[in-house]
Amino acid sequence: MREREAARRRCHEAEFEAFVAGAAGRLLHTATLLTAEPAAANPRAQQLLAAALASTYAHWAGLRGEDPYDRTRQDLVARFARGAWRDWHLWRLRQRLHLLHRRPDVAPLETVTPRERLVMVLRLYEGVAEEQTAAQLGLPLQRVRTLCNRAVSQLYEAHLDARTKPRQSPPEPQQPHGTRGPRGNPVASHPKGPQDPQPDARAPRAVVAP
């Protein structure tokens, strides 16, 4: 009995080791994108990933055909989402107090809110379908779409645009979180409205507008 138990454990250990060898690199990259840490110093991403992997290993015997990669990613996402909002506010506070030096390689990712980042990374890096993302995060589909679009346009402005265009002025201080939406940028004024099927939110304004 005891021997069989030990043999099974060794088998699980070998399987888990193979899984980690194959998946850890990608998962760690995902975690690092989520936490917006630089690749060279990502203690929080490592911590998240270790916890998620530990959970997967603890349930290894009961996986029964479930994809361990999906399970680990889900766990990782849930852990990140739980701590993300608090961390974001701490980060803003530190930034306001000028305690934080902006790091050039990941700064753009840090300017996107954790939730937007989460949706964006799941959709664009992990390639999870919109419906699945919405189900995993417990959000309506439309909200997932909005979050992803907002993150993309903001990141595009903050990083990709800056790379192609020469910068005229030193980077201005971050705008407060709340005023980000209606900023008159070329991206936000894109045909966002007509394709957003939110008639209840927009129709009354259209009536008043003329």
Partner 1 sequence: MTPRREEDQVRRLLAEAAHPPVPADLLPRATARGLRRRRRRRVLRRTLWTLAAALLVAFLVWATVTQPWLGPPADIAPPVGGV
Which residues make up the interface to partner 1 (CB under 8 A)? 13, 16-17, 20-21, 24-25, 28-29, 32-33, 38-40, 42, 45-46, 49-51, 53-58, 60, 105-106, 120-121, 124-125, 145, 149, 151-153, 155-156, 159-160, 187, 190-192, 195-196
Residue type at 158? A
Cβ at position 20, least distance to partner 1 in Å: 5
Which lies closer to partner 1 via its Cβ, residue 10 or residue 86?
Answer: 10
Q: Quote the DSSP letter at residue 104.
A: T
Which lies closer to partner 1 via its Cβ, residue 55 or residue 174?
Answer: 55
Q: Quote the DSSP letter at residue 61.
A: G
Which lies closer to partner 1 via its Cβ, residue 68 or residue 88?
Answer: 68
Cβ at position 94, least distance to partner 1 in Å: 22
Cβ at position 195, least distance to partner 1 in Å: 5
26's tokens: 């990608």
**Which ranges constitute the DSSP H helices of the chain?**
2-35, 43-58, 68-96, 107-111, 114-120, 130-137, 141-155, 162-164, 192-195, 199-208
Which lies closer to partner 1 via its Cβ, residue 39 or residue 206?
Answer: 39
Long-range pairs, 97-104, Cβ under 8 A, ≥24? 102/171, 103/38
